[in-house]
Amino acid sequence: MFKFLEKILNEEADRKQVDERDLMVATAGLFLEMVYADFEIHPDEEKQLTDALSNLFDLTQEEINQLLNKAKQNRDQRQDIWQFASLLKDHLERDQRLQILTNLWRIVFADGRVDKYEDALMRKITNLLGLDHSEMIETKLRVKNEVG
């Protein structure tokens, strides 16, 4: 009887385990949401998205394409960024979540402007990632100074 319960508990634990690929898909999903936030897909934003994925995860262009396809599939199925952000909040350190926030701001600034929808989405994502409003503002200003 005990072995039976132990097996069930282990199976549940296995289902809850998250691998690196899941975290990469969740990150790519948030990046895609930001690219789509202002209802215009700007080529500079797409380039910044692929650059961010390449730098964060050391991926080839082919791997980035596969990752983005998977993220798009998940996005189409869910229509909710909560699941992406929740996964990242639960499994990444604060510094790693701040790196994601930094890259989100880089995507926002890639086309030279901050749209009201992008700004609103940044506020929501910051909260969902378990980061403070002050960290969002500090990151925004730092990235704005970076890009010019």
State the DSSP code for 92: S
Residue 87 CA to residue 82 CA, distance in Å, equals: 8
Task: Say whether pLDDT at 140 is over 60.
Answer: yes
Residue 93 CA to residue 73 CA, distance in Å, equals: 26
Of the listed ranges 6-15, 57-66, 90-99, the one predicted with least confidence = 6-15
> Which pLDDT value is given to residue 99?
96
> Which pLDDT value is given to residue 13?
46
> Which pLDDT value is given to residue 38?
84
User: Does domain 18-147 sit in CATH 1.10.3680.10?
Assistant: yes
Residue 137 CA to residue 141 CA, distance in Å, equals: 6
Residue 126 CA to residue 133 CA, distance in Å, equals: 7
pLDDT digits (tens, 9 = 90+) for 79-128: 578 989 999 999 999 999 999 999 999 999 999 989 999 999 999 999 99
Task: Give the CA distances from residue 26 to residues 5, 78, 97, 138, in Å, rounded to whole numbers and listed in that order.
Answer: 32, 12, 12, 23
> How many Å from the N-terminal Cα to the C-terminal Cα in the chain?
66
Residue 36 CA to residue 33 CA, distance in Å, equals: 5
Task: Say whether pLDDT at 9 is over 60.
Answer: no
Task: Say whether pLDDT at 68 is over 90.
Answer: yes
Domain ranges across the chain: 18-147
Annotate 15-59 with DSSP letters as a single string: HH---HHHHHHHHHHHHHHHHHTTS---HHHHHHHHHHHHHHH--
In this prediction the pTM is 0.84
Indicate the residue type of 58: D
pLDDT digits (tens, 9 = 90+) for 27-53: 999 999 999 998 888 899 999 999 999
> Which pLDDT value is given to residue 96?
96
